[in-house]
Amino acid sequence: MRLTGKVAVITGAASGIGRATARLFASEGARLMLGDLDEVGVRQAADECIQAGSEADAMRTDVTSGDAVRRLVEGAVARYAKLDIIFNNAGIGMPGSILDCSEEDFERVVAVNLKGVFLGCKYALPHFLSNPSGGAIVNMSSNGGLIGRPADPLYVATKHGVMGLTKSLALAYADRRIRVNALCPGPIDTPMIWQGMDPDMDREEFIRRAVAACPTPRMAAPEEVARAALFLASDEASFVSGVGLAVDGAKAAGVFNANRYRLDFDLLG
């Protein structure tokens, strides 16, 4: 078990990547405090962790609120007497060109995707500084934190912001045993990706469009990202800090546009 004795906070834990990571961390021995806007979903996620043999609790948390994020972190420390890991995972998509997006859209996506990560780091760091073992921060970025994308520039801007925060905090706290890394997933099969589906489009057509710019022609399962989160959070990554780990089937590795206007490639199962 790779997280025995560790205490972890996970945001956005009611669904998708956060929920899969909560289950995996629980099965690896971590004790968990889970936060999400979706109170019912996050309680179900905590129940799954308990069924996996771990200790877990959940709190309705809006990551755009400093008070709420502080309560989540303090709740973990009050319950388990320390904090070792925070996975700042909560996020929202924001499709649409700059002309289509409003100032309110900008403020909303920055508040959830960037301010939410800032708040998680800010309120977890004092506990890592007082923990003799230090701590591990895993921030959720995206392949859109490594490369530009024309279809969702506001989302991409927030995910680049997460990379800047991650690298800067990694530098600032490296000598205090605190590692700060980010995950940069490609297309992952979670509710977020399906929210972008046009109701008139059939499922396979939607998958083709979602993975057309991904050299590995499939969506990955949330568990495939959870395993990368586990690596970054665990002592196996003891000398890994300041990186954005791409979990993206090579999407951010370079330009891939030879078949730009073709959607008749073979999908992998």
Ligand X SMILES: NC(=O)c1ccc[n+]([C@@H]2O[C@H](COP(=O)([O-])OP(=O)(O)OC[C@H]3O[C@@H](n4cnc5c(N)ncnc54)[C@H](O)[C@@H]3O)[C@@H](O)[C@H]2O)c1
- 58, 59, 90, 114: which one binds ligand X (CB under 6 A): 90
Active-site hit among 80, 123, 155, 173: 155
CA 248/CA 243 separation, integer angstroms? 15
Q: Which is nearer to ligand X, 36 or 84 (CB)?
A: 36
> Which residues are CB-neighbours of 212 under 8 A, at least 6 positions away?
259, 260, 263
> Which residues are CB-neighbours of 81 under 8 A, at least 6 positions away?
none
Kindly state the helix (H) or strand (E) to which residue 16 belongs, with its residue range.
helix 16-27
Q: Any contact of residue 37 with ligand X (CB under 6 A)?
A: yes
CB 5, min distance to ligand X, A: 26
- 9, 18, 115, 245: which one binds ligand X (CB under 6 A): 18
Opening angle at CA 79, ends 76 and 84, nearest 5: 45
> Among residue numbers 143 through 202, which ones bind ligand X (CB under 6 A)?
185, 187-188, 190-193
Helix (H, G, I), strand (E, B) or coil at 229: helix
Q: Any contact of residue 92 with ligand X (CB under 6 A)?
A: yes
CB 45, min distance to ligand X, A: 9
- Mark whether 155 is an active-site residue: yes
> Which residues are CB-neighbours of 9 under 8 A, at least 6 positions away?
32, 33, 34, 35, 72, 73, 76, 83, 85, 86, 87, 120, 124
| Site stretch for ligand X (CB under 6 A), options 59-67, 196-204, 229-237, 260-268 | 59-67
Q: Any contact of residue 139 with ligand X (CB under 6 A)?
A: no
Closest CA to 249 of 159, 206, 185, 163: 185
Q: Any contact of residue 64 with ligand X (CB under 6 A)?
A: yes
- 142, 166, 181, 234: which one binds ligand X (CB under 6 A): 142
- 3, 7, 8, 12: which one binds ligand X (CB under 6 A): 12
Helices (H) and strands (E) in the chain, counts: 9, 7
Opening angle at CA 123, ends 185 and 115, nearest 5: 50
- 6, 9, 10, 16: which one binds ligand X (CB under 6 A): 16
Q: Which is nearer to ligand X, 92 or 174 (CB)?
A: 92
The DSSP annotation for 91-143 comes to -----S-TTT--HHHHHHHHIIIIIHHHHHHHHHHHHHHTSTT-EEEEEE--G
CB 224, min distance to ligand X, A: 11
Q: Give the number of residues in contact with ligand X, rule: CB under 6 A.
A: 30
CB 175, min distance to ligand X, A: 29
CB 21, min distance to ligand X, A: 9
Q: Which is nearer to ligand X, 190 or 234 (CB)?
A: 190
Produce one character per residue of 88-109: b if its CB has 16 or more CB atoms within 10 Å, e if not.
bbbbbbbeeeeeebeeebbebb
Annotated catalytic residues are: 155
Contacting positions for ligand X (CB under 6 A)? 11-12, 14-18, 36-38, 41, 61-64, 89-92, 112, 140, 142, 185, 187-188, 190-193, 222
